[in-house]
Amino acid sequence: MLIGLLILSEYIFIEPYITGHIPKGTEFGFSLIIILSALSALVLPMNVYRINILKNSKGKIGGSVFGSFIGAAAGACSCGPIGFAIISTFGSIGATSMAFLTNYEIPIRIAAIGLLALTYYTTVKSLKVECKLKPQ
Amino acid sequence: MNKKGIIVGAIAVIVAIGIIASYSSPSTETVNLDMGRTHGTVSTAMGSPILGDTSAPITIVEFGDYQCHQCFNWFHNTKPGIYENYIAEGKAKLVFVDLAFLGRDSPTAAQASYCAEDQEKYWEYHDLLYNSQEDKIDNGWANSERLKAFAFSLGLDMELFEGCLDSGKYSKRVQYNVSEAKKHGVRGTPNFIIVGPDNQQEQISGAQPYTVFKQIMDNMI
């Protein structure tokens, strides 16, 4: 996810050479991507574990997937190929939605991080209860 | 005699209608465009004037949008190095071709740049737009009023500029540039086609760092 987001947000380029750089003024956005990816890497496997091993409810994975998805969507810069494809396909509606995602990129990423942090907290809390060894 | 008179009269009327139509049509462009201007496979006839030495061996064709944040990043982080080491040195020249797709103000801003070109201030206006870009698309920073204010700050003849912008004089020029970009598979901004002395071409997508441009251009020289 980290690599994907960094490519989408144009911090890493694959062609013509693999290269990466952080333009001046985009350091904060870069930090948010790192935090978002780290939280997604923590929260998604924890919830997959809850579902697969503990056969528990699927409610929390919704929060983690949603948080990761909107965080990633905010990173899909409207200038890039994804934005261009959406605007070309959906016209003014696509342009308006891409403009929204670009204009509010930072607040959306912060909200996604908040959602993931909340999901992490509740997941850890419930795992502590569910995984607690019961006295014989 | 009467027959001849009718024919001459008819021709005169047709010529007069043609002249009147050519002056009244808002999309007519009177600027001197080199319609055959190409760089590599790209027709830059409707693009910007050339920045740098016209005989420079390398041409950088930039496809951009004045509301694009990545174009802003390239303008401020990569372009200065390219200008200093390649354009000012006569090794490369730059042509800007509009891919104005991001919002409703993008095509208007592109048209305004050509209205500034009418008064030989294209690059000054271009630079002013990228220096004035705000972080939100279509929030009004590039609306018609602001574009006129930018022109005023550059000391342009406002009657000419406003007439040009309000008439949509260059709307077809911008549309042509957008179609030229799409024809070359450009799918986002900024995007660059570097054309070498032997017409070899390299495409660079995105606001890539100076080192990438340097490596490609050094290989071409």
| pLDDT tens figures, B141-154 | 999 999 999 999 99
Q: Compute the distance between CA of residue A16 and CA of residue B155 in angstroms, rounded to an integer.
A: 42
Q: What's the Rg (C-alpha) of chain A?
A: 18
Question: Would you call A103 and B101 a contact, using CB atoms and an 8 Å cutoff?
Answer: no
B70 touches chain A (CB under 8 A): yes
| A-proximal residues of B, 85-124, CB under 8 Å | 101-104
User: Which pLDDT does position B119 carry in this prediction?
Assistant: 95
| Residues A7 and B207 sit within 8 Å (Cβ to Cβ) | no
Q: Compute the distance between CA of residue B212 and CA of residue B202 in angstroms, rounded to an integer.
A: 11
Give the rounded percent of residues in chain A with a pLDDT score beyond 90. 2
pLDDT tens digits along B186-201? 989 999 999 999 989 9
pLDDT tens digits along B174-183? 999 999 999 9
Picking from B69, B73, B104, the nearest residue to A102 by CB comes out as B69
Question: Would you call A24 and B187 a contact, using CB atoms and an 8 Å cutoff?
Answer: no
User: Which pLDDT does position A54 carry in this prediction?
Assistant: 65
Give the rounded percent of residues in chain B with a pLDDT score beyond 90. 76
User: Average per-residue pLDDT in chain B?
Assistant: 88
Nearest CA in chain B to A14: B205
Q: Compute the distance between CA of residue B85 and CA of residue B109 in angstroms, rounded to an integer.
A: 29
Question: Would you call B211 and A81 a contact, using CB atoms and an 8 Å cutoff?
Answer: no
Q: A45, A47, A30: which is closest to A109 by C-alpha? A: A30
Give the DSSP H/E element, type plus range, for residue B203. strand B201-205
Residue B72 pLDDT exceeds 80:
yes
Picking from B77, B104, B212, the nearest residue to A23 by CB comes out as B77
User: Which pLDDT does position A8 carry in this prediction?
Assistant: 82
Question: Would you call A10 and B189 a contact, using CB atoms and an 8 Å cutoff?
Answer: no
Tell whether the torsion through CA atoms of A47, A51, A53 and A56 is positive or negative: positive
For residue B70, the Cα-to-chain-centroid distance in whole angstroms is: 18
User: Which pLDDT does position A86 carry in this prediction?
Assistant: 85
Picking from B71, B77, B139, the nearest residue to A79 by CB comes out as B71
In this prediction, residues B90-100 reach a mean pLDDT of: 95
Phi, then psi, of A30 in degrees rounded to 5? -65, -45
pLDDT tens digits along A26-73? 889 889 889 988 888 888 888 777 777 766 555 556 666 776 677 666
Nearest-5° Cα angle at B16, B11 to B22 = 125
For residue A135, the Cα-to-chain-centroid distance in whole angstroms is: 39
Q: Compute the distance between CA of residue B62 and CA of residue B190 in angstroms, rounded to an integer.
A: 7
In this prediction, residues B44-70 reach a mean pLDDT of: 94
Cβ neighbours of residue A71 closer than 8 Å, sequence gap 6 or more: A5, A36, A40, A108, A109, A112, A113, A116
Matching residue, tokens 């509010």 = A104
Residue A95 pLDDT exceeds 70:
yes
Residue B28 pLDDT exceeds 60:
no
Cβ neighbours of residue A68 closer than 8 Å, sequence gap 6 or more: A1, A36, A40, A43, A44, A112, A116
Q: Where are the alpha helices (DSSP H) in A9-104?
A: 27-52, 59-75, 81-103
Which positions in chain A touch B102 (Cβ < 8 Å)?
A: 78-79, 83, 87, 95, 98-99
Which residue type does A130 have?
E
Helix (H, G, I), strand (E, B) or coil at B76: helix
